[in-house]
Amino acid sequence: MVYLDAAATSLVKPLSVGREMLRAMQSCASPGRGGHEPAMRAAAAVYRCRETAARLFHVPEPERVVMTMNATHALNLAIRSLAARGTRVLISGYEHNSVTRPLQLLGAEVLTASSPLFDRDAALEAFRERIADAELVVCTHVSNVFGFILPVYELAALCRERGVPLIVDASQSAGVLDVDFERLGAAFIAMPGHKGLLGPQGTGLLLCGREGEPLLAGGSGSDSREQSMPPYLPDRLEAGTHNVPGAAGLTAGMRYVLDRGTEAIAAHEQELLAELVARLSVLDGVELFAGAPGTQSGVLSFRLRGFDCEEAAQRLAERGVCVRSGLHCAPCAHRSAGTLETGTLRASFSPFTEPGELEAFCGVLEEILREGR
């Protein structure tokens, strides 16, 4: 099997991830629900996860690392903390439904900073032109469809200058690119645990520059006499029993990222991206969405002339090649790139993707192109 769908979820994990999850399942109870040894082991496992994330993302206090179920959960927490009906929210033209749907559900007034694909200067200028109308800015760090790296650090400086809070969606950048909580100064940074951080599904993180408002209410293991959620982080935003095995696995994934380094991981993915662009560029019938160096992460969208994207993906899957097809839960990004009517095929890499997989993928793709529809 050739797995080129890491932007959806990492499939190959460090071996330590599974080991730590199994150890937690066999030895940990519920954190904050007792002073006995299994409960204390669970509390330690969850705190190690916070500490590791704080080290990786330069968060000064581990308590500002909130455990979530996924990036969608984290984004909903962040958005509902800062937006309400009628709030004017400025977004990029490359946002995921995990941003646009919560805003729609709230009844926020959504403004879009539209810009051409892979043009970072134009993206920043689009925000600069419209930020005077905004009460909140939400921006993805990397487009999940095209790998377009948006200028979030420059945007963060603009938001600070204008006094507008910023939410960063780091779903495709956490674990691959530099995501520095202190340098960004964002109100919130949301991310999944199962993509670039190489943890298990069902895990995510919200890095909190603000206290935030609860999305769920319930047991927290603290302040149980009170009928409102605790006023302090992380308890304020974490209702119910934690996913302790998930936290243990996520810690192991983040430790791999720390040991290898995001610079090395990014360099590996850039090498794969350059190789795949070179290979696909010479194939007749392939339309690539590739940017200049420095504007794109390890995500490459493409279309095949004469093929429906879903049909092409299915034919690849039948030959053991795993890619994503369609709109990738991001119609906003496709609208910006002019691919809304067709969608795209998407190949994406992880630290464990090997060059041989690209060679095999291109061989299969050539076969499909020769066969035609």
Confidence band (pLDDT; 50, 70, 90) for 221?
A: confident
Pairing mode of beta strands 286-289, 299-304: antiparallel
Average pLDDT estimate for 53-58: 98
Confidence band (pLDDT; 50, 70, 90) for 220?
A: confident
pLDDT at 358: 98
Pairing mode of beta strands 321-322, 2-3: parallel
Average pLDDT estimate for 241-262: 98
Q: Which two tokens stand for residue 297?
A: 């992460």
Asked whether the predicted pLDDT for residue 240 surpasses 90, the reply is: yes
Q: What percent of the chain has pLDDT over 90?
A: 96
pLDDT digits (tens, 9 = 90+) for 303-328: 999 999 999 999 999 999 999 999 99
Which amino acid belongs to residue 361?
A: F
Strands across the sheet with 188-192, in order?
Answer: 65-68, 204-208, 188-192, 166-169, 136-140, 88-92, 109-113
Q: Do 112 and 92 form a contact (C-beta atoms < 8 A)?
A: yes
Q: Which residues touch 341 (CB under 8 Å, ≥6 apart)?
A: none
Average pLDDT estimate for 320-340: 97
pLDDT digits (tens, 9 = 90+) for 56-66: 999 999 999 99
Average pLDDT estimate for 226-230: 91
Q: Do 209 and 163 form a contact (C-beta atoms < 8 A)?
A: no
Confidence band (pLDDT; 50, 70, 90) for 101?
A: very high
Please give the angle made by the CA atoms of 244, 247 and 252, to the nearest 5 degrees. 130
pTM of the model: 0.97
Confidence band (pLDDT; 50, 70, 90) for 373?
A: low
Average pLDDT estimate for 334-351: 97
Q: Do 354 and 6 form a contact (C-beta atoms < 8 A)?
A: no
Asked whether the predicted pLDDT for residue 245 surpasses 90, the reply is: yes
pLDDT digits (tens, 9 = 90+) for 106-130: 999 999 999 999 999 999 999 999 9
